[in-house]
Amino acid sequence: MEGKEEADEKRMGVVLSSNNNKRAKIQDDDSQPQTNNVVSLRNKHSEVGERIAETGFYQSMELTTDTPICTKTSKYQTIEVHQAKHYGKVLMLDGVIQLAERDANAYNEMITHCAMMAHDNPQNVLVIGGGDGYVLSEVLKHSSVKHVDHVDLDGDVVEICRTHFPWRDAWEDPRVKLHIADGAAFVANSKHDFYDVVIQDSSDPYTCCEDGSLVELPSCVLFTQDHFRNVHKTLREKGVFIFQSECFQIPSDLDCIVKWRKQVLDLGFHHARYGSITISSYPTGQVGFLLCEKDRDAGDHTTNNKHTNHPGDLQQQSSSRIDQRFQEIVKKGCSTTYYHPRLQKSCFDLPLWVEKKIYGDETRTTQTETQNN
């Protein structure tokens, strides 16, 4: 695809020399064991990392000497599993880190439980993407769940993760039906008013070139207005939609967050809030999601949101319900290690400059109301 090589400069697997901390490209040197993304360095250490062209940000992770554990080129992408010295096993797709065992709990627990707890009684759940299976395993911790459709485009990702990661048994749960299919097409052909929660755990939809232009990646179809409309249709009256929404520290990502939020609100979701997650293996150590709710009165589930106020007793009742449901998960021996009920609200508290960018006048209204109170 035209512009692909240049676009890969934004987020790609690179090797960073430990001597001068500059980006080093892979060389065709048969004397060195290498993959598309990792090469043994002179000090016998290997590192895999990412470069964000528009911010000049570099990040790398040190690997063990016996990596990679697995590498395969599927119909859609190059899949790799590496062993990091401090981050455990690392899943990479086309040179981009998707998951590292040490902090995978942060993203996967938050994008799952913030959505599940935002619904009073989630029974039918759709997981789009997330071929590693971690989100699916978190969904199954909720006893209210009766059925989960898990849709992922690349069956090779599922099979590799079944082999190499500890949550491999999630697909064996009788409540789960796995579909190796295009997520957007699956949603377009789904029943209307069927799902209580839709969780979209996708890879990046765009990449940014040096000149600032955006190049579409395969997942971009999951971020279109048509797809959001189809998600809205397949959700029940009080349905919840949550989707991976990139990093507010990267300018092109922040612009997309603003655009996506406007799109889902225009389509009929009554609330759309950006929640932030701290995760050190992702660029800048931060990633987020948009939590979108069809229920007009749903705001008290999550946050003193930017454009509605709810009576304090409603917020207290909702908080108590979430605490109770969380304790039920703990008693079952299925506790979390990152998510806890207080984050159901606090993850939506953002730096002021980010709030102003995402919410605009809504932020100023909230500040005025706070001062008056």
Fold match flag (4-99 vs 104-369): no
Catalytic pick among 201, 253, 295, 300:
201
CB under 8 Å, gap of 24 or more: what pairs does 104-109 form?
104/134, 105/336, 105/337, 105/338, 106/277, 106/278, 106/279, 106/338, 107/277, 107/279, 107/282, 107/287, 108/134, 108/135, 108/138, 108/201, 109/138, 109/336, 109/337, 109/338, 109/339
Using one digit for the tens of pLDDT, what is the confidence trace for 290-320? 999 999 887 544 444 454 444 444 455 578 8
Q: Whose structure tokens read 């520290």?
A: 249
Q: How do beta strands 70-73 and 78-84 pair?
A: antiparallel
Dihedral sign of CA atoms 196, 304, 107, 270 in order: positive
Using one digit for the tens of pLDDT, what is the confidence trace for 14-36? 433 333 232 233 333 343 444 44
Q: Between these two residues, 110 and 297, which has the higher pLDDT value?
A: 110
Using one digit for the tens of pLDDT, what is the confidence trace for 348-357? 999 999 999 9
Angular region, 85: left φ>0, alpha ψ -120 to 50, beta rest: alpha
Contact 36, 95 (CB under 8 A): yes
pLDDT exceeds 50 at position 169: yes
Rounded mean pLDDT of 237-258?
Answer: 97
Q: List, in sequence order, the alpha helices (H) in 65-217.
A: 104-117, 134-139, 155-164, 183-188
Two structure tokens written together for 330: 């703990």
Lowest mean pLDDT among 81-85, 104-108, 170-174, 209-213: 209-213
The pLDDT mean for the chain works out to 85
Domain boundaries, the chain: 4-99, 104-369
Q: List, in sequence order, the alpha helices (H) in the chain.
A: 4-7, 104-117, 134-139, 155-164, 183-188, 225-234, 251-266, 312-331, 343-346, 352-359, 361-372
In order of 148, 156, 264, the CA distances from 257 in angstroms are: 27, 30, 11
Residue 201 known to be catalytic:
yes
Beta-strand runs (E) in the chain: 15-16, 23-24, 46-52, 57-63, 70-73, 78-84, 88-93, 96-100, 124-129, 147-152, 176-180, 195-201, 206-208, 214-216, 235-244, 271-278, 286-293
| Domain 4-99: homologous superfamily in CATH | Spermidine synthase, tetramerisation domain (2.30.140.10)
Two structure tokens written together for 8: 């890969």
Two structure tokens written together for 333: 């021996």
Two structure tokens written together for 53: 């062209």
Residue 52, pLDDT score: 86
Contact 122, 101 (CB under 8 A): no
Note the CATH number of domain 104-369.
3.40.50.150
Residue 316, pLDDT score: 58
